[in-house]
Amino acid sequence: MIERDQVLHVARLGRLKLSEEEVERMALELSSVLDHIEKIGELQLDGVEPTSHVLPLENVLRDDVPRASLPRDRALAEAPEPAGGGFGVPSPGGEG
């Protein structure tokens, strides 16, 4: 069972602001997700390599050849607060 504190912790990591009602609902929903994963965990998988990818591919590499970058105006076009040729952001002070 996922506790209320755990929901708030995960919400904070994801920078999510949850209402009281959402916190309670998330606790239930996340618990049922974990229950399902525990069910999968019952499978006998000794000797089976953990799967990180489903594609049978390795070493997909790109040659080290430069391609044109975006003009700065375009790079900054979607910036909510462009300033001094850069992306203005709130001061990260207490965050992190």
Binding residues for another protein, rule: CB under 8 A, are 9, 12-13, 15, 52-53, 55, 57-67, 69-70, 72, 75-76, 81, 83-92, 95-96
Residue with tokens 């209320």: 4
Contact 87, 76 (CB under 8 A): yes
Closest distance to another protein from the beta carbon of 1 (Å): 20
Q: Is 1 helix (H, G, I), strand (E, B) or coil?
A: coil
Instruction: Kindly tell me which of 21 and 70 has the beta carbon lying closer to another protein.
Output: 70
Nearest to another protein of 21, 61 (CB atom): 61
